[in-house]
Amino acid sequence: MALPLRVFHTLTAAVGFGALLVAALPAAAQDYHQPFHPDQLKGPPAGALNEVLVLGTPHLSNMGDGFKVESLSPLLDRLAAWKPTAIATEDLSGLQCDSLRRYPSRYAETVETYCWDPAPAALATGLDVPAANAEAERLLAEWPAQPTAAQRRHLAAIFLAAGERGSALVQWLRLAPEDRTANDGLNDALVAVLNRIKDRANETYLISAPLAARLGLERLWSVDDHSADTPDPTDPVEKKAYADAIMGAWNNPASQTRRAQDAELGAALDQPDGVLRMYRVYNAPTTPTLTYQSDFGATLVEPSPQAFGRRYLGYWETRNLRMVANMRDVLGLYPGTRMLTIVGASHKGYYEAYLDQMHDVRLVDPEPVLR
């Protein structure tokens, strides 16, 4: 950015031209780009590649009356044909929720919104969240090729105590209906939880868990992250100013385009290919840019003196970086994984951009999979 002439004269008179160059350095530094590009250094590695298919999804809990569970079948068929060996979900892990509970002054709202209370499962199994996670890992490390119904019920109970409802549901769905009973650590209350979430309008319960069970997988991977959350402002004036700034930024032509698109897709949900068409649009290569223009790019230039938009954007980027780090952790533990990661569509562009920076990650184009 060029300095105004008045400022230029003042600075040169006061501190000399050399100091002016130092003062101008931060602006010049904006043009610096380092030459090291991890995305161009991808091996190939020894052994099978790590492949990641990012599926952007609407949140099924927000779908209208036109949505029917059976309409997910064409999507599930196509995802199953890709044969992922791991499925990551937009859920907070039990371990992160356990950590957030220890900092209620910052995370009380987050815990209330995103974390399930594992206390009933802890009472049934005698295990707290860290112990239950360790026990689940131990059991899976020794898991037989043909586990008994009792072993599956027990592991489901352990997963519930670990705060991993999605993985518990995978075990529940892998049981024959007649074996879905209260036993082996599952009491009536925990069975009621599993039967309730099995039919809940949620992509983890209606897509990820049934797909994992169909493919013979034993668990899901919860990779969401809300450690960048902060409490809402307590001052009503500040709270309103924040809301007005963000909502004002979102009021733009790109947002209008997205709303019109969603209305068109929603009106066609009762068609045989309505849901599959929606997923094709949400995962089209042009969608992340439209999302950025309507949302995150608009908040980047939002002009409030408190920089509300930039604070919101900082939270968003931090959250996505940490979510991708959670996935990369799994891929590092199990090289050669074919990971399907299912996440709210607004995350998709950030997921793919950040994942593509990783040396040992290859992105998979979702369009051929969804044809």
Summarised one tens digit per residue, pLDDT across range 223-262 is: 999 999 999 999 999 999 999 999 999 999 999 999 999 9
Q: Is 363 helix (H, G, I), strand (E, B) or coil?
A: strand
Tell me whether residue 193 is in a domain.
Answer: yes
Residue 150 lies in a domain: yes
For residue 78, is it within any domain? no
Three-class SS of residue 109? helix
Residues 211, 311: one domain? no
Are 244 and 362 in the same domain? yes
Q: What pLDDT is attached to residue 50?
A: 98
Same domain, 242 and 334: yes
For the chain, how many residues are written? 371
Q: Which domain holds residue 121?
A: 117-162+165-219
Residue 320 covered by a domain: yes
80 found inside a domain: no
Q: Angle 253-267/287-294 helices, nearest 10 degrees?
A: 130
* 339 and 246 co-located in one domain: yes
252 and 366, same domain (yes or no)? yes
Mark whether 130 and 196 lie in a shared domain: yes
Q: Do 247 and 210 lie in a common domain?
A: no
The confidence score (pLDDT) of residue 65 equals 80
Confidence of residue 30 (pLDDT cuts 50, 70, 90): confident
**Number of domains into which the chain is organized:** 2
Q: What is the pLDDT of residue 178?
A: 98
Q: At CB < 8 A and 24+ separation, what contacts does 33-36 make?
A: none
**257 belongs to a structural domain:** yes
Residues 200 and 285 in one domain: no
- DSSP E strands, 153-244: 221-224
Indicate the average pLDDT of the chain.
Answer: 92
278 and 253 housed in the same domain: yes
3 state SS for 284-352: CCCHHHHHHHHCHHHHHCCCCCCCHHHHHHHHHHHHHHHHHHHHHHHHHHCCCCEEEEEEEHHHHHHHH
- Residue 17 covered by a domain: no
pLDDT at residue 11 is higher than 80: no
pTM value is: 0.91
- Has residue 24 got a pLDDT over 70? no
Same domain, residue pair 185 and 265: no
- Is the same domain home to 146 and 193? yes
Residue 20 lies in a domain: no
CA nearest to 206, candidates 301, 67, 327: 67
For residue range 65-96, list pLDDT tens digits in order.
889 999 999 999 999 999 999 999 999 999 99
258 with 157, same domain: the answer is no
